[in-house]
Structure 1
Amino acid sequence: MTVVRNEVITLPTGLGDAPSSVDLAAAEEFLRMFHDAHPEAGPLGQRLTQVRTEIADTGTYRHTPQELAYGARVALRDSGWCTSGVPWRRLKVRDLRGLRNAAAVAAECVQHLRLSTNNGQIQPLVTVFAPDGPNSPGPCVWNEQLVRYAGYRDANGKVLGDPRYAEFTDAVSRMGWKAPTQRGRFDHLPLVVETAHEGPKLFTVPRDVIQEVPLEHPELPWFVELGLRWHAVPVISNMRLVIGGITYPAAPFNSWFVGAEIGTRSLADEGAYAVAREVAERLGLDVRSERTLWRDRATIELNRAVLHSFDAAQVTITDHHAEALHRLAWLRSRQRAGGNRPAFRVDAVTAQRARLGTPARFTVTGSEERAAERTEAHGSRLAALLHKRLGA
């Protein structure tokens, strides 16, 4: 899965910094698009009048469930993240716009992971939480994906685990996360969910919800000795969903892995697990010069192992050749007109937060912390039940 859009925006830094009003032109463009696709939804003029009045009165408006589902599906289809074979028109959209508390958001992120895993038959999903409003910014998830592996840096700068998340690991450790006593290469990082009234909160993802695939090679018996594995579902969790001028800062979504995302980018790459050299040495290749192409040959075997292992475990995956054909078809048919089409977007600050664990999206004052404590103490029964189910 590859980011194809990376625009820089200004994010809210406090409770008063949410957008003052929804862009009416963006709302109207989306509603026309929706009604063109769904004439059974009723008169467009009537809906436009309703939304104009709502924006004039409140500064925002609320999508109908049908509008939300359509917008999320189009955003995933047009984003380039939708891997080949995903039936975007039937993509399931979980409408959880009523959830703003961190514990409830974290619990439903866990539920998203459980539902999408589906015993290996990966189910594409989008879960949409509360949007940004004029006076009530929505929650956000710091993590790049719901499942990421910790990186532990020692005094010499050497990293055990995933070096891409070494700084994030340090950040959550300072926030109170306790690493396992026996640190390993594939320790699961906690979720960080931030809300305007609570600040950032840590939540453990239950181990039994995370399906992982141990990697083996179809022809190399020694490959299992490398002890490699990877999680089954790529749930992107830090991209904002924008539909008709409304921003949903927490809208986790998934399709399924492209094998090269694991084999090439996560395992072979020198900036990640960097196991290509070890594989090459095991293969007896000459690693003294890049001109021998040892790295290419090792990476091919890593990708073969990933595809073979996922297939053997009956976990949905696609290969980069099938994905390349899909991308070419997508580029040919991609809708390019109009800057207000539904989209999943990531900005520089959000991407930094996912890797470094900083900066926080909101600044919570002492009075806001006390208000948050009262809110949590007297929160809804649903949030309490979800919090209990998560075990946080």
Structure 2
Amino acid sequence: MNDLLREATEFICSCYNELHKTKQETEIRLNEIHEQIGARGYYKHTTEELEYGAKAAWRNSNRCIGRLFWDQLNVIDQRHLKTEEEMAEALFEHIAYATNNGRIRPTITVLSQKSPNQNVRIWNHQLIRYAGYKTAEGVIGDSTSIAFTEECIKLGWEPRYGYFDILPIIIQLNDNPPKLFDIPDHLPLEVSIRHPHFDWFEDLQLKWYAVPIISEMSLEIGGITYTAAPFNGWYMGTEIGARNFADETRYNVLPRIASLMGLDIKSNQSLWKDRTLLELNTAVLYSFKEAGVSIVDHHTAAQQFKKFEEKELAAGRAVTGDWTWLIPPLSPATTHIFHQTYHNKVEKPNYFYQSKPY
């Protein structure tokens, strides 16, 4: 309880200071929290505190290059929901609101806080994610989804064995059996990947979903934990083009594209991976733009992060960061981030990884 009161006090003082509350308002709120903790062992945030905390958590996310827009996060308070069905509907609403016909809105939906008699978990890594199947002929789909796909099948989901099958959402309330919910077909917006110059690129039949909604992390604000608080920004092109499609342990499409480009894939000196990676990322950016879906290239994202650094320093806040995550996986040395050093100190509020519930 002492730790909770300490974290609550630190959060409220910081929050109310940034929100320009008076000293009297701060003291009154701290007294209320002290009473709540004494009576039931925890306290509840006001809507204003929740909104500030969720935004500050994004601002403190050391691995995120897109933090310039932290104060533009749309916070949807769904803490009052009680059943898995209500929560699933709220997650569907999140997908629709965040997608916004391609003009992606940074959004977080916060479900009930963790307490002695309440714990909500979303089993998915992201609300929208492609299935992965381990077969005798090799992996079909996204290899990072294999274990979760198998759990979905155990719960009654029908596998289709395609390369881009959208998985259902699994929600677990307390120790109850997990419940599975299929995402309505009209909700996920997907972008077919084509190239501005290579007509054959469409024959690869690549596509990716428009909105990355992280759903496995917890949100911690002032000693209170929200175990189900899915959030999203928009994609940086390299996340799809240099990782999801290109990693050998993911879709591994570089050799196929290189062959179609007529490159020598037997020699590293041909730099076939580099040349292929550039064209793949060009295709991703081109396709999203043509489809009217928000996306940012890594050079622009790095420039935006530099502006974030400047604004934070002007506000008297030190910029923390995980350099290994902030540098883009394509041409990192061409960005200022590559030449910087960041203190990887974890500040709260923040988002934290949780152990898998399965």
Equivalent in the alignment of 2:134: 153
SS in 1 for 2:178: strand
Q: Whole-Å Cα distance in 1 between the matches of residues 319 and 176 of structure 2? A: 39
Measured against aligned partners, the alpha-carbon deviations of 1:317-344 in whole angstroms (never above 9, x if no partner) come to: 0011122233445467445599662101
Q: Does 1:254 align with 2:232?
A: yes
Q: Whole-Å Cα distance in 1 between the matches of residues 29 and 250 of structure 2? A: 49
Measured against aligned partners, the alpha-carbon deviations of 1:180-219 in whole angstroms (never above 9, x if no partner) come to: 3xx3110011111111152321111111000000011001
Q: Does 1:175 align with 2:155?
A: yes
CA contact (8 A) 1:149 1:162 kept: yes
Of stretches 86-95 and 331-340 in structure 1, the one that deviates more from structure 2 is: 331-340
Equivalent in the alignment of 1:79: 61
> Which consecutive residues of structure 2, in runs of 5 or more, have no partner in the other structure?
313-317, 321-342
Q: Does 1:235 align with 2:213?
A: yes
Equivalent in the alignment of 2:124: 143
SS in 2 for 1:43: helix
Query: So what's the TM-score if we normalise by structure 1?
Result: 0.79
Give the C-alpha shift of residue 268 in structure 1: 1.0
Q: Whole-Å Cα distance in 2 between the matches of residues 84 and 293 of structure 1? A: 30
Q: Whole-Å Cα distance in 1 between the matches of residues 142 and 245 of structure 2? A: 9
CA contact (8 A) 2:68 2:308 kept: no
Give the C-alpha shift of residue 106 in structure 1: 1.5
CA contact (8 A) 1:161 1:184 kept: yes
Give the C-alpha shift of residue 104 in structure 1: 1.5
Judging changes above 3 Å, is the alpha-carbon distance between structure 1 residues 230 and 340 closer, same or farther for their aligned structure 2 residues?
A: closer
Q: Whole-Å Cα distance in 1 between the matches of residues 309 and 269 of structure 2? A: 34
The one-letter code matched in structure 2 to 1:105 is: M
Q: Whole-Å Cα distance in 1 between the matches of residues 352 and 274 of structure 2? A: 32
Q: Whole-Å Cα distance in 2 between the matches of residues 235 and 306 of structure 1? A: 19
The one-letter code matched in structure 2 to 1:29 is: E
Q: Whole-Å Cα distance in 1 between the matches of residues 300 and 216 of structure 2? A: 27
CA contact (8 A) 2:57 2:351 kept: yes
The one-letter code matched in structure 2 to 1:187 is: D
The one-letter code matched in structure 1 to 2:113 is: P
SS in 2 for 1:242: strand
Instruction: State the structure with bigger RCO (CA 8 A, min sep 6), 1 or 2.
Output: 1
Give the C-alpha shift of residue 254 in structure 1: 0.6
Query: So what's the TM-score if we normalise by structure 2?
Result: 0.86
Of stretches 32-41 and 45-54 in structure 1, the one that deviates more from structure 2 is: 32-41
SS in 2 for 1:194: strand
SS in 1 for 2:151: helix
The one-letter code matched in structure 1 to 2:232 is: N
Q: Does 1:119 align with 2:101?
A: yes
The one-letter code matched in structure 1 to 2:99 is: T
User: Quick one: which of 252, 275, 288 aligns to 2:266?
Assistant: 288
Q: Whole-Å Cα distance in 1 between the matches of residues 347 and 288 of structure 2? A: 38
User: Quick one: which of 86, 92, 95 aligns to 2:74?
Assistant: 92
Give the C-alpha shift of residue 40 in structure 1: 3.7
User: Quick one: which of 299, 306, 313 aligns to 2:277?
Assistant: 299
Equivalent in the alignment of 2:49: 67
Of stretches 293-302 and 279-288 in structure 1, the one that deviates more from structure 2 is: 293-302
Instruction: Tell me the matched-pair count.
Output: 328
Q: Whole-Å Cα distance in 2 between the matches of residues 176 and 28 of structure 1? A: 46
Q: Does 1:23 align with 2:4?
A: yes
Q: Whole-Å Cα distance in 2 between the matches of residues 138 and 318 of structure 1? A: 35
Q: Whole-Å Cα distance in 1 between the matches of residues 68 and 209 of structure 2? A: 19
Q: Whole-Å Cα distance in 1 between the matches of residues 86 and 195 of structure 2? A: 40
Of stretches 287-296 and 274-283 in structure 1, the one that deviates more from structure 2 is: 287-296
Q: What pairs with 1:163-202 in structure 2 (closer than 5 Å)?
A: 163-180=143-160, 183-202=161-180
SS in 1 for 2:100: helix
> Which consecutive residues of structure 1, in runs of 5 or more, have no partner in the other structure?
1-19, 354-358, 361-392
CA contact (8 A) 1:102 1:198 kept: no
CA contact (8 A) 1:21 1:59 kept: no
Q: Does 1:271 align with 2:249?
A: yes
RMSD: 2.1
Give the C-alpha shift of residue 272 in structure 1: 0.4
Judging changes above 3 Å, is the alpha-carbon distance between structure 1 residues 108 and 83 closer, same or farther for their aligned structure 2 residues?
A: farther
SS in 1 for 2:8: helix
Judging changes above 3 Å, is the alpha-carbon distance between structure 1 residues 207 and 86 closer, same or farther for their aligned structure 2 residues?
A: farther
